[in-house]
Amino acid sequence: MAARALKLTLQPWEVRAADGFDRVFAAMGKQRPDGLYLPGAGPLIRANEKRIVGLALKSRLPSIYTNIEFVDAGGLMFYGADEAESYRRVAYFVDRILKGTKPAELPVEQPMRFEFIINLKTAKQIGLTIDPNLLARATKLIK
């Protein structure tokens, strides 16, 4: 497991309803984790995007998200597929299908371009200094 190789301890938290976020962040506050990784974004997560970002900021918790909207809302970092490129590829496949290609004949693709966005305003707000080497790798900085 990659976490073990990096000497990281993962603690999964489960939220099943909107009122669970306050409980989870309160529990995390007692454990003082080094960071928050929020994988995916189902309907419950998307509907509470600003709330989650606000709780992470209040907890001064460095956070990384797989949905770009969280960084736009004040989250610290985003890493994921380049959305504009992904939409261009969708348009390509729709065009091929509309021109008669059977979907089963089209290849499965994985993203080839990724974005790494750092919100420097958030870093400053939570008192975090970002290593210059990490800043150099970012595809976008929010100042």
pLDDT digits (tens, 9 = 90+) for 3-26: 889 888 889 999 999 999 999 999
pLDDT digits (tens, 9 = 90+) for 99-130: 999 999 999 999 999 999 999 999 999 999 99
pLDDT of res. 92: 96
pLDDT of res. 2: 81
Q: How far is CA 12 from CA 9, 19, 36, 38, 126, in A?
A: 10, 17, 10, 10, 23
**Residue 88: inside a domain:** yes
The mean pLDDT value of the chain amounts to 94
Q: How far apart are CA 100 and CA 115, in angstroms?
A: 33
**Residue 6: inside a domain:** no
What is the CATH classification number for the domain harbouring 97? 3.40.50.2300
pLDDT of res. 47: 93
Residue 97: band (very low, low, confident or very high) from pLDDT cuts 50, 70, 90: very high
Model pTM?
A: 0.86
- Over pLDDT 70: what percentage of the chain? 99
**Residue 15: inside a domain:** no
Q: How far apart are CA 113 and CA 115, in angstroms?
A: 7
**Residue 104: inside a domain:** yes
**Residue 12: inside a domain:** no
- Are 8 and 38 contacting, i.e. CB atoms less than 8 angstroms apart? no
**Residue 27: inside a domain:** no
- Residue 89: give the domain boundaries: 36-142
Average pLDDT over residues 54-64: 96
Number of domains in the chain: 1
pLDDT of res. 103: 96
Backbone angles phi, psi at 142, to 5 degrees: -100, 120
